């Protein structure tokens, strides 16, 4: 966000009446039928198909995002999520049978998924289609009304979504609110049944504070410094290609991008050389002229990244060039990085990759474990024992072995953070569960109704009950 968000009791832009209208729709039962849910999911898929060009152009205007990258990371991803929800909706909605203890029989127990009500989805600017609509898929599949808040820092995409969503989705149950901190603050002052926020930890604290006033549950998808650990015996050419691809997608503005590399000292120079070859292969001699290399979202973030480079005491091994008017920052690799360097103190969120030397994977794992848990962790090694050691000694939201970023594209894997990198998870069924209440239901027949369970508890009844309950 471009300015502090302060929840307020005002309803700028009609936040109060808007939420009240959606709540009326929910309480009338409009969103509960499976047919309504399927209709909304089909509407989203139609939007992504019919308005694909418009969304791609909006993403290009906001982020300089290449068309193929926009398709891969924003549009196709949401299309797959909606497709999976359509295929699996009947199974997800079906009650889940639960065994009943012998002492309570005859009886039947089940878990029934219920929609939560009216939910708020606040999206960031870096993947403004994906990170708004993927949670919306889960919210609609679960039968909720939704307020969708796109990021004002991606204005072209925000405007496109605000224009398109009402055409394809039920306007009595889904609303889009554009604007900046003032509009977001007005929304946060309302009572929602769930708030789903993707962004940075500073704003997440504001969201949690606002949610606490109404005891509203939250899902927080944040970030952190996601490390890539490279063993001496790893295939360095493959590791370099996959690290460079994951790092430089969207010019590094990805929450799970490799933020820094910990590499065995003996392999450091070879890895840096391989990174240079991979970058050249991807973007040519001058990445500024490549149609496949994105731009920094705005001037403020470009200046922030330049300040990080100017403040570092590390050596610029590759890149370092930039052009402020076009918001271009070259793919940049740093070596001889001090762990206390400014570039290691915050999530970079740009195309700057610090490379630090370590003695072995054990030291790398200790380094990661000594810092806040990252959103993602990447390990490149041919040693199963070495990988297992890293997994046992570290904590992270997700792990990808001998790859980067790809874990997000597996719908069966929950995506979310741990500790400072986030709370809760989504994607696939996890999205449906996030926006559902798991309601416990126990049903007993009227007969039999043995007197044994009721007072007075005679010595015989107490003995029988104790024996039955101890099984």
Active-site positions read 221, 255
- Strands across the sheet containing 376-380: 315-318, 332-335, 352-358, 260-264, 227-230, 376-380, 398-401
Query: Which is nearest to 64 in space by CA: 301, 299, 295, 327?
Result: 295
CB count in 10 Å sphere of residue 47: 23
Structure-token pair, residue 286: 């001058």
Q: Which residues have a Cβ under 8 Å from the Cβ of 205 and sit 6 or more positions away?
A: none
As beta bridge partners, residue 196 has 121, 219
**How many Cα neighbours within 13 Å face the side chain of 114?**
13
What would the DSSP string read from start to end of 221-262? E-----EEEE-TTS-HHHHHHHHHHHHHGGGG--TTS--EEE
Sequence-separated (6 or more) residues with CB below 8 Å from residue 303? 324
Q: Degrees (nearest 5) of the Cα angle 125, 407, 332? A: 60
Distance CA 346, CA 225 (A): 7
List, edge to edge, every strand of the sheet that includes 96-98. Answer: 96-98, 108-115, 436-443
Calpha distance 441→463 (Å, rounded):
29
């Amino acid at each position: 966000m471009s300015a502090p968000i302060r929840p307020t009791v005002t309803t700028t832009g009609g936040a109060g009446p808007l939420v009240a209208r959606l709540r009326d729709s929910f309480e009338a039962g409009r969103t509960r039928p499976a047919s309504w849910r399927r209709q909304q999911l089909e509407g989203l898929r139609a939007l992504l198909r019919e308005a694909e060009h418009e969304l791609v152009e909006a993403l290009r205007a906001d982020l300089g995002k290449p068309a193929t990258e926009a398709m891969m990371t924003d549009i196709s991803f949401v299309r797959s999520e909606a497709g999976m929800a359509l295929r699996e909706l009947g199974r997800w909605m079906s009650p889940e049978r639960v065994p009943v203890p012998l002492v309570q029989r005859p009886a039947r127990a089940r878990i029934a998924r219920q929609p939560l009500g009216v939910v708020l989805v606040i999206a960031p600017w870096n993947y403004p289609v994906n990170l708004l609509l993927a949670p919306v898929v889960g919210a609609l599949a679960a039968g909720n009304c939704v307020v969708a808040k796109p990021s004002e820092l991606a204005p072209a995409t925000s405007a496109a979504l605000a224009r398109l969503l009402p055409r394809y989705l039920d306007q009595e149950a889904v609303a889009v609110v554009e604007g900046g901190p003032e509009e977001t603050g007005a929304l946060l002052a309302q009572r929602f049944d769930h708030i789903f926020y993707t962004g940075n930890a500073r704003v997440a604290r504001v969201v949690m504070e606002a949610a606490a006033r109404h005891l509203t549950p939250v899902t927080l998808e944040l970030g952190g410094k996601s490390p890539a650990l490279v063993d001496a015996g790893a295939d360095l050419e493959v590791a370099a290609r996959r690290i460079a691809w994951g790092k430089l997608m969207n010019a590094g503005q990805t929450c799970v991008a490799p933020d820094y590399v910990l590499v065995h000292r003996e392999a450091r120079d070879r890895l840096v050389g391989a990174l240079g070859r991979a970058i050249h292969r991807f973007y040519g001699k001058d990445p500024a002229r490549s149609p496949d290399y994105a731009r920094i979202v705005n001037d403020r973030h470009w200046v922030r990244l330049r300040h990080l480079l100017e403040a570092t005491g590390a050596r610029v091994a590759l890149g370092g060039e930039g052009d402020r008017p076009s918001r271009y920052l070259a793919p940049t690799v740093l070596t001889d990085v001090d762990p206390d360097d400014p570039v290691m103190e915050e999530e970079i969120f740009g195309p700057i990759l610090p490379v630090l030397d370590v003695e072995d994977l054990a030291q790398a794992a200790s380094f990661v474990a000594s810092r806040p848990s990252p959103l993602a962790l990447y390990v490149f090694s041919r040693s199963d024992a070495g990988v297992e050691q890293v997994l046992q000694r570290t904590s992270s939201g997700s792990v990808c072995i001998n790859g980067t970023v790809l874990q997000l594209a597996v719908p069966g894997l929950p995506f979310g953070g741990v500790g400072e990198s986030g709370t809760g998870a989504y994607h696939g069924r996890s999205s449906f569960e996030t926006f559902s209440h798991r309601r416990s239901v126990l049903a007993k027949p009227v007969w039999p109704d043995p007197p044994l369970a009721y007072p007075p508890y005679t010595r015989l009844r107490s003995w029988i009950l104790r024996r039955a309950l101890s099984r």
